Structure 1
Amino acid sequence: MRTGRIWDCLARAIAATGTAEHVDRLIDLIGADIAHDLVTVTRYSATRMPEFVKHRRFSDEMVRRYLENYYVFDPFYACWRREQRLGIVPLRTLADDEVKRGQYIAEFLAQSRICDEVGILLADGGDWCLGIFLDRTEKPFRDSELALLTERLPVFASLHALDIRANWIKAGTLADQKTELGAGQYIEPVPGDVSLAAEGRSQACYGGVDHVSQDTDCSFDIQRFQRSCVRGNRILGRKGCDHKEVRGCRQEARRNQDDERRKEGVRKQGGR
């Protein structure tokens, strides 16, 4: 792949944080230099059954079978429930002899014509993670490809953490707890902001609704927030966010919301 292509994918992924396009653009970035045949995206919880988010070139019928029967045999799901391990998780690291003989590999992957897969597990709030899986149908992933994913993991994790925080801002609050990126890295909280109970985002967060729409009455300059966070977070090796700028975005959003409410009140009074 041309070097310029990865930068294009990164730019699009940054621009999509906080919108309904986030997961798709993150998939594009993750798979930019890694050849793959299929993509599946699943949310895992340590206490609840998985949620299937979306797929590319996979079978809707196999999704149904997974959720009805095979998720209980999923070694990635079992690993998350047991260890809650974030990062790059190749199937080969989980596939002992028992798993190889089990229903997930022997039946589910075989029926899906998948010979190898690697999961990129990103913190998704509470005891949830977002798992983006690259799948191959003919040959396994090379060690050099897994190393490349591992090298880029902090970028993937930072982008997803930024998306979570953008949605928290849209909901009117920021978390006062650290947002975990994996590998011992965090985005620091914004002091003085009210905590949002992060019990994991519902599947609706990955649907067709733009959760940071510029058309809403509480819109704000999300690009300004993105720039401040990207400068301050672990992508560029610095700590935390630009707290003053983030608070400025929130104050601006509240002013816009108050203005719109006043205008709406005037319109209603005028219509009486």
Structure 2
Amino acid sequence: MGRMDGKVALVTGAASGIGRATAVRFAREGAAVVSTDIDHEGGNETLSLVKQNGGRGIFLHHDVASEACWIDVIATTHAEFGGLHALINNAGIAISGDIVERSYESWRREQSINLDGVFFGVKHSIPLLARSGGGAVVNVSSVAGLVGNAGLAGYGASKGAVRLFTKAVALECAKARNHVRVNSVHPGVIDTPIWEKGSSGRAGGWAVQAVRKAHVAVVAQLGVPVGRAGQAEDVANGILFLASDEARYITGTELVIDGGLTAQ
């Protein structure tokens, strides 16, 4: 018997990285998985992996910064599967650069995806989670939401806000006795495609992959006590735990998955 048997999970940003690993992990544990992203090709690849790993699922195009998209995604999830038991707010972007050089447009774009997207997801999923008998929200924040990082002020602001937003909503749900738990996870240096997006990306193909691997390796060696970067599956395992019934007494907390980075 899987840890998510009979349950429905919605995973945003599921076309790659942590989102894909989470969708596949949930499928292996018996969940029906709604994978969403703006990347159709990657999203459909994730859907294929979900099915290959024994799960049922659908892929939906989803701009998390659009409230209208969220309303449609929640309605489709309800229509297709009859309920919702886990929402994984994973979609996000990172825009680097000194704050004095940042445009307001780039600032708002980062906040709209990383923070507004979480707000919309929580707002529109909680009623369905409650009607489904309760469930869990897991918001993917970052260690950048715990400590400062030069050049990542916008990213840190959004992820720090997600951390406290999570705690406030957890208390609201507990007070409402709606059986919805809300927690956050805070990945550290994880080897995912976000590193490609953080590089120039102009070389493409193998060159970008090489930059990504080299960047992740150097950062991990310099700053992570365990001496290596984490894998997307490491984060997916933590998300699975928080979404499962094993974590039924855990709400309003944060799970840091960083190889000891923030323990220093």
After TM superposition, the score normalised by the length of structure 2 is 0.34
Bigger Rg, which one: 1
After TM superposition, the score normalised by the length of structure 1 is 0.33
